[in-house]
Amino acid sequence: MPNNQGFQSKNALMESSFVSKTTCIYGPSKIKKNSIIDSFVVIGYPTRAKTNQITLKSEIQLPIEYLYDQISTGSIIGENNHIRPFTTIYETSLLEDHVETGTNVIIRENCQIGSGSIIGSSTVLDSGVVIGKKVRIQSNNFIPPKIVLGDNIFLGPGVRFANDLYPVSSRLVTTIVEDNAIIGIGAIILAGITIGEGAVIAAGSIITKDVPSGHVMMGTPARCIMTREEYDLKQKNYETSQN
């Protein structure tokens, strides 16, 4: 029942016993084994289109939690996940196994997050974002619709993606980051770009065109300054030189 202790839908499938009493879980959401759901998390939150319809039905006197529960199609949280406080996961999103979020994360509807991925605090994944396996997204990132991230990608804090070549238009375009890429703090990726496998984007760079696999890019606009092989060698030498 809705109260100051949160809300748990009767239609939810709860396989984990590690769910805070302050969590709100709407619709036929699934919380799989051994997942930790911390305080004040919301799972299965209805889309804007659905919640807007509620205000048109002023005659309905049910508590808002019951109304959300009736209209939500739920979310799926895999096994061994850790969803930290004040995270909101909208309906129809899927988090595979061993996914972690920081605090104050928003995951909008129809997102897919692969197993072993980490979503940093105060990050927003807008609707339909696809994230592969073992992706590490640091804090304060905004990832808009039509962004696809492959496997084993690193995003530093404050990376910004665009998805519209002529804002504000009705046509959004897809931006793709392929497997094993690294994107440094504060980089800007313009709309419709593909960042190739293993590419590295230096901090603060602006990417205005496709990046070939294995290239290291720096600058505004970014240009290639070395290969990934050279980068990895420099990284190895840097790590060993501290001793």
> Is the bond preceding 221 in cis, omega lying within 30 degrees of 0?
yes
- Compute the average pLDDT of residues 76-91: 98
Question: Could you tell me if 122 and 104 are in contact, meaning their C-beta atoms sit under 8 angstroms apart?
Answer: yes
How many C-beta neighbours within 10 Å does residue 35 have?
24
Task: For Cα atoms 108, 97, 160, give the angle at the middle one, nearest 5 degrees.
Answer: 40
Instruction: Please tell me the predicted confidence (pLDDT) of residue 56.
Output: 63
Low-confidence winner among 57-66, 94-103, 138-147, 213-222 (lowest mean pLDDT): 57-66
What is the reported pLDDT for 59? 62
Q: If you average pLDDT over every residue of the chain, what do you get?
A: 95
pLDDT, position 116:
98
Per-residue pLDDT at 1 exceeds 80: no
Q: Which domains does the chain have, with CATH numbers?
A: 1-143 (2.160.10.10), 157-243 (2.160.10.10)
Q: What is the mean pLDDT of residues 49-75?
A: 85
Per-residue confidence (pLDDT) for residue 243, from 0 to 100: 61
Give residue-wise pLDDT tens across range 89-100. 999 999 999 999
Contact 179, 186 (CB under 8 A): no
Backbone angles phi, psi at 155, to 5 degrees: -115, 120
* Pairing mode of beta strands 13-14, 24-25: unpaired
Q: For residue 118, give the nearest of 79, 74, 81 by alpha carbon.
A: 81
Helices (H) and strands (E) in the chain, counts: 3, 30
Mean predicted confidence (pLDDT) in 109-126: 98
DSSP class of 96: -
β-pairing, 222-227 vs 215-219, is antiparallel
Nearest to 24 by CA among 81, 87, 82: 87
Edge-first strand listing for the sheet containing 194-195? 13-14, 30-31, 76-77, 94-95, 112-113, 130-131, 147-149, 175-177, 194-195
Over residues 167-189, the pLDDT tens digits come to 999 999 999 999 999 999 999 99
Q: Of the candidates 184, 33, 47, which has an alpha carbon nearest to the alpha carbon of residue 128?
A: 47
Res. 5 pLDDT band, cuts 50 70 90: confident
Alpha helices in the chain (DSSP H): 48-54, 64-71, 228-241
